[in-house]
A and B are shown apart, each in its own frame.
Chain A
Amino acid sequence: MKWSWDRFWIAMLERAPGALYVHTKMVLVALVVAAVISITIGILLTRPRLKWLGGIVLNILNLLQTFPGLAIVALAMPILGLGFKPAVFALIVQGLLPIARNTIAGLYGVDPDIMEAARGMGMTKGKVLYEVEIPLAMPVILAGVRTSAVYVVSMATLAAYIGGGGLGDLIVGGLNMIWPDFIVVGAGLGAVLAILFDRVLGFVEKKYTPLGYSAE
């Protein structure tokens, strides 16, 4: 195993931009879809009619969370084949869990007295959801998105195994060819991307935390 600065710069300048673009695209698509699905699930499961299901689903999600990422990617292959789409699908599955869990926890955590007061003033159930429950649960939901983002960024490196592309190509290629420079570029940029997502979402989370909370 020999380090080569030439290959390092090829990886950095020729391979990395494309890989980074595919990687980011994969992560963003998966994250947005996962957020939409799991926030919807979270909202539905906290409505009085489906409340009994909430606890059960939460337990299942906790269990699913323990599945290794590589196993999910591997399981997606025989069903969906190779390429970008199955990779994104696997990422969505892995990304659902933290967001749904936090959505449910966040909505459960809204002070029932505040909701009673809102209902008592004549707000419809929909208004209570949009104007009271979701804004108050937002910091917790966004924390879930943040956790999920970090998972998905790192998981997306595994997408290379099923032809999804991204930074995983550099790592897998590096491993096959025993090129440490490729591995370092792929893994390093993956880590940087994860940190970047975490920072950006942390900023959004802070911005969406109701001012009334931060005054406490």
Chain B
Amino acid sequence: MIELVNITKKYAGQEEPAVKGLNLLVRDGESCVLVGPSGCGKSTTLRMINRLIEPTAGTVLIDGKDIRETDPDRLRMGIGYVIQQIGLLPHRTVAENIAIVPRLYGWPKDKIRERTDELLELIGLDPETTRHKYPAQLSGGQMQRVGVARAMAVDPPIMLMDEPFGAVDPIARNHLQDEFLRLQSVMRKTICFVTHDINEAIKMGDQIAILDRGELVQHGSPLEILSNPANDFVCDFIGYDRVVKKLSLCRAGSISRKDFCLIRESELPAAAKKMEEQRAEVSFLVDGKGVPRGMLTAKWLKDNGSAFTPKELKALASQGHKGFIQEDTLLRDALSLLLELDLDYLGVLKGETLCGAVSMADIRQYASGKEGD
């Protein structure tokens, strides 16, 4: 647990403090993303946690203990630290770089070697080929991974990350973020993460703390912040697509409805009647194996009455044959598909089988709903 109590930092020769009376709590196993425009004090705040910068006033507590009671070098050995520029030692091999902190702890050679290989495998690099390489021989993404591995070498409970994925291209960044989330879901480290990119904050953070000119403007979960931005600054910072961003926090399975019915090809002429009986707005056409082939909505049938031959009905239904998503699809992507196919409903699949339906109206309701609705 990291607790910042009334932290203020004023640099010598500057009128305005870089950080003003900041209070923040990061619970165990939780990641908190400090986000804000450049110069908002987010990096300063992070560096006050490992005493690379000493606050002018206020206290930092780690697990309830004032960090000033610990020797700064000792304190830093116990906290993983990753920076944007990575800072791998260019004259040391990958393995030697990862071994820095274990060596400071005086681990025996065998144990260091074992741990190094384990970490290289964890971050998806082949120990045999990578171990003896120098940083200059790695790609940007690989260096960044080694940087993360180095910070995790002694398995510290706390990690401080200052724009750790800022220096790589967008595709590699996305990949590294996903990988890190996967690792974090197992490791459950207490993480303080700094970024200027709100999308990264939404993706990486259990909690987001938005800073502006040294002050904490809003602190909450991504959903809270996207649903109830505290003020205009937060709104502007999030951007015009706030609602669409919110849609990326929710998966289709969690808002899907169950009032749909399944029809087989032979039942097509009676589809309208069956839907009415089951009070379903939408029905999905399935083949003999239960694999979805198309859909019919109550609206389509109503607009055209019973003027359809079974053949026409089948053609109508198969217009929606692409309108199926997996239950873990993000609502944002579901919305995109709805717009692309010009449909009102999407079938939600669990593997091959239908488990629900999502409509345009459902997404609209989720998007406009405030937290707690």
A122 near B150: Cβ-Cβ < 8 Å? no
A116 near B87: Cβ-Cβ < 8 Å? yes
Picked from A113, A116, A136, the residue with its CB within 8 Å of the CB of B91 is A136
The interface on chain A, measured as residues whose beta carbon lies within 8 A of the other chain's beta carbons, has a size of 24
A122 near B104: Cβ-Cβ < 8 Å? yes
Chain A proximity of B340: nearest CB distance (Å): 44
Known: A113-B85, A135-B91, A210-B91. A121 touches B101 (CB 8 A): yes
Picked from B100, B136, B137, B151, the residue with its CB within 8 Å of the CB of A123 is B100
B73 near A122: Cβ-Cβ < 8 Å? yes
**Chain A hits for B77, CB < 8 A:** 121-122
| In the assembled complex, A118 has its CB within 8 A of some CB on chain B | yes
B90 near A122: Cβ-Cβ < 8 Å? no
Q: Among residues 164 to 216 in chain A, which have CB atoms less than 8 Å away from a CB atom of chain B?
A: 210-213, 215-216
Known: A212-B134, A213-B136, A215-B134. A120 touches B76 (CB 8 A): yes
**Chain A hits for B137, CB < 8 A:** 215
Chain B interface category by residue count: 20 to 34
Query: C-beta contact mask, B71-95 vs A, less than 8 Å → 1, else 0?
Result: 0011111100101011111111000
Residue of B52, B100, B101 ringed by the most chain A CB atoms within 10 A: B100
**Chain A hits for B160, CB < 8 A:** 120
In the complex, number of A-B residue pairs with CB atoms less than 8 Å apart: 78
Q: Among residues 114 to 140 in chain B, which have CB atoms less than 8 Å away from a CB atom of chain A?
A: 134-137
| In the assembled complex, B207 has its CB within 8 A of some CB on chain A | no
Known: A212-B136, A213-B136. A121 touches B81 (CB 8 A): yes
B52 near A119: Cβ-Cβ < 8 Å? yes
| In the assembled complex, B50 has its CB within 8 A of some CB on chain A | yes
**Chain B hits for A211, CB < 8 A:** 91, 134
| In the assembled complex, A117 has its CB within 8 A of some CB on chain B | yes
Q: Among residues 183 to 234 in chain B, which have CB atoms less than 8 Å away from a CB atom of chain A?
A: none
**Chain A hits for B101, CB < 8 A:** 121-122
Knowing that A117-B88, A215-B137 touch, tell me 10 more A-B residue pairs with CB under 8 angstroms: A111-B87, A114-B89, A116-B52, A122-B104, A123-B104, A131-B89, A132-B89, A211-B91, A213-B90, A213-B91
13 contacts between A and B (CB under 8 A): A113-B87, A116-B52, A117-B87, A119-B76, A120-B50, A121-B76, A121-B81, A121-B100, A121-B151, A212-B89, A212-B134, A212-B136, A213-B90
